[in-house]
Amino acid sequence: MGDTAEAYAARIATIRSDLVVQGVLAREMTEHAFDAIFARDLDVARKVIARDDEVDRVDLLVEQSVVDLLVDIARSECDIGAGLIREILVCVKVNNELERIADAATSVAERIIELADRTTPFPETARVITNSVVGILRDAVVCFERFDPERAKVVLRCEGTVLKFAESTARAAEERVAAGSMSADVAFHLHAIVHQCEVIADHCTNIAEQVIYAATGVVVRHTGGAWVELPTSKPALDGD
């Protein structure tokens, strides 16, 4: 394709497109796993587990594409600028986050299979937290696709909501166990599922942080109970 900034930008765009497809797959796995929780649908749960191999395959392909790209850039005399370098770094990190999200969805599906024919209903807040996580994941993928820092900030603000719902769900489960309307075993699986919801939300915020960094060069961190933008240590470079 040639050793030009434009050619390398096109290759980066292709990698990003592959990651967007990967993100949609991770979201679908998550959504289907969550739906299977409440339907106790073992067939859907098994299909989610089977799709994890597809995510792993794309994860390796994306990683190899990035390695090939970096090798070609290192061998060329082309200055691609700080902006494109940030995009490459973000692609590597987002690739890892999406693979971990798919792993979390697979873990949820495995819990559903372990629950088998135990049909004790979960607290209503369990449905609220799963719906919230799906929405956050959808926004995380979209903000990465568009490199939209404003939408990324929406993702960051939503993580706290997930944590609050997780706490409410855990308390409701404890009350049911104490009242004898939910077995300790079912409550244990619910706790594990809620934990995976928190894990997915955390990976989504990591993606959002990287989008803000790629789009603006600004580093954001969760400090003192809030997301703050940290000043960079040096002025923006050419190409930002």
Q: What percent of the chain has pLDDT over 70?
A: 91
C-alpha angle with apex 131: 125 to 132, nearest 5 degrees? Answer: 90
- Candidate CATH numbers 2.30.30.100, 1.20.58.220, 3.30.565.10, 1.20.950.20; the one for domain 5-230: 1.20.58.220
Residue in the block written with tokens 């299977």:
36
Residues 6+ apart with CB under 8 A from 3: 72, 76, 77, 78
Q: How far apart are CA 156 and CA 227, in angstroms?
A: 7
What phi and psi values does residue 178 have, to the nearest 5 degrees?
Answer: -65, -35
Average pLDDT for 110-139: 88
C-alpha angle with apex 158: 207 to 153, nearest 5 degrees? Answer: 55
Residues 182-221: pLDDT tens digits?
Answer: 888 889 999 999 999 999 999 999 999 999 988 888 888 7
- In one-letter notation, the amino acid at residue 3 is D
Q: How far apart are CA 233 and CA 240, in angstroms?
A: 15
CA quadruple 185, 187, 191, 197: dihedral sign: positive
Determine which helix (DSSP H) or strand (DSSP E) holds 232, and give its type and residue range. none
pLDDT at 227: 67
Residue, of 116 and 216, whose pLDDT is higher: 216
pLDDT at 193: 93
pLDDT at 217: 84
Q: How many other C-beta atoms can be found within 10 angstroms of the C-beta atom of residue 26?
A: 28
8 A C-beta contact, residue 91 and residue 135: no
Average pLDDT for 30-41: 93
Most trustworthy range by pLDDT among 52-56, 183-187, 229-233: 52-56
Q: What percent of the chain has pLDDT over 90?
A: 63
Over 60: is that where the pLDDT of 163 sits?
yes
Residue, of 114 and 199, whose pLDDT is higher: 199
Over 70: is that where the pLDDT of 44 sits?
yes
pLDDT at 237: 41
Residue, of 51 and 2, whose pLDDT is higher: 51
The domains of the chain are located at 5-230
Region of residue 217 (left: phi > 0; alpha: psi -120 to 50; beta: else): left
